[in-house]
Amino acid sequence: MKSISLKEEIDTTRESSLVFGDAIKILRSLPSHSVDHCITDPPYNISGYDHKKKIGWLQSNEVWTKEKNFSKIDAGWDKFSDDDYLSFTKDWLFEVARVVKPNGNIIVFGSYHNIYQIGTILQNLNRKLINSIIWYKRNAFPNVTQRMLCESTEHIIWAVNETKKNAKNWIFNYKKLKEINGGIQMRNMWDIPSTSISEKRHGKHPSQKPVELINRLVVGTSNKGDIIIDPFMGSGTLPVVAQMTGRKFIGIDNNKHYCKLALKRINDSGIASSGFVA
């Protein structure tokens, strides 16, 4: 296999690439219909959430980060005004719908803060929605405020890059997912713990997703040899899983530190976690 290096642009979409740069700019440089699928976990715009009042989730997180030394997301890349977030999300989703092939899969992560906007934008783009998946984190931060339910889920929208009328033959590896699920039909509520410390041994990213979670999405909705783009790869979980399962990837992030972390993880062939299936 060709070794992966960090680039600032993409020479060809036929090879795996890790790219340091702005997602929208890089997406705009790619030809239409040049990748098979997109699986991505964009900024949720929760870092600035309720900053002044510090109620609910933020305060709860703060107790855990100060007293228990957990890491939370409070990053510049995750802070937008409401208007800026909406136009940013519209711009990158529009580009993703352009570069992914017709009937390719588009899979996007979010939380209750942003997932409805993402769903609405995909519907306005007239893309066919296939499923929403709930990722249930049984070990999520407890909520100490007693003013709301303890937030323990993230949401994933699975859409097909076609209109509702014309969508057909999208990839869904039903049998593979059934096999992963011990021979039982896979449902859309996935009980997978938050990312383990061992998966963070190359360095920390505040929203690193578990390999097991990304693994289900990759093997369930793509075939070996397919090219999957992740415009917001962070620590590179999508590229890592794509490589381990025989897919190609285009991973983009505008933070060099995270790009280097992704590179380290990709080059560590022993990264597989429990629950991993090729």
Ligand X SMILES: C[S@@+](CC[C@H](N)C(=O)[O-])C[C@H]1O[C@@H](n2cnc3c(N)ncnc32)[C@H](O)[C@@H]1O
**Secondary structure class of 121 (helix, strand, coil):** helix
User: Inter-axis angle of helices 211-221 and 237-244, to 10 degrees?
Assistant: 60
Q: Identify the residue among 4, 10, 23, 250 touching ligand X (CB under 6 A).
A: 23
Of 194, 171, 174, the closest CA to residue 186 belongs to 174
Residue 16 and residue 239 in contact, taking contact as beta carbons nearer than 8 Å: yes
Which span sits near ligand X by CB under 6 A: 2-10, 115-123, 177-185, 205-213? Answer: 205-213
Q: Is 43 in the site for ligand X (CB under 6 A)?
A: yes
Per the listing, tokens 């976690």 go with 273
Q: Is 253 in the site for ligand X (CB under 6 A)?
A: yes
For the bound state, the minimum distance from the C-beta of residue 170 to ligand X, rounded and expressed in Å, comes to 22
Q: Is 235 in the site for ligand X (CB under 6 A)?
A: yes
Structure letter (DSSP) for residue 209: P
- Rounded to whole angstroms, how far apart are CA atoms 240 and 250? 11
Q: What is the DSSP string of 54-96?
A: --HHHHHHHHHHHHH-------GGG---HHHHHHHHHHHHHHH
Of 156, 146, 100, 148, the closest CA to residue 125 belongs to 100
Which span sits near ligand X by CB under 6 A: 4-12, 36-44, 136-144, 164-172? Answer: 36-44
Q: Is 258 in the site for ligand X (CB under 6 A)?
A: yes
For the bound state, the minimum distance from the C-beta of residue 178 to ligand X, rounded and expressed in Å, comes to 25
For the bound state, the minimum distance from the C-beta of residue 176 to ligand X, rounded and expressed in Å, comes to 21
Q: Is 65 in the site for ligand X (CB under 6 A)?
A: no
Q: Is 208 in the site for ligand X (CB under 6 A)?
A: yes
Q: Give the contact letters, 76-115, x = binds to ligand X (CB under 6 A), - = no.
A: -x--------------------------------------
73 or 144: CB nearest ligand X = 73
Q: Is 234 in the site for ligand X (CB under 6 A)?
A: yes
For the bound state, the minimum distance from the C-beta of residue 132 to ligand X, rounded and expressed in Å, comes to 18
Size of the site for ligand X (CB under 6 A): 20
Q: Is 64 in the site for ligand X (CB under 6 A)?
A: no
Over its C-alpha atoms, the chain yields an Rg (Å, rounded) of 18
Residue 236 and residue 266 in contact, taking contact as beta carbons nearer than 8 Å: yes
DSSP tally for the chain: helices H, then strands E? 8, 9
104 or 110: CB nearest ligand X = 110
Q: Report the interface residues with ligand X, using CB under 6 A.
A: 22-23, 41-43, 77, 205, 207-209, 232-235, 237, 252-255, 258
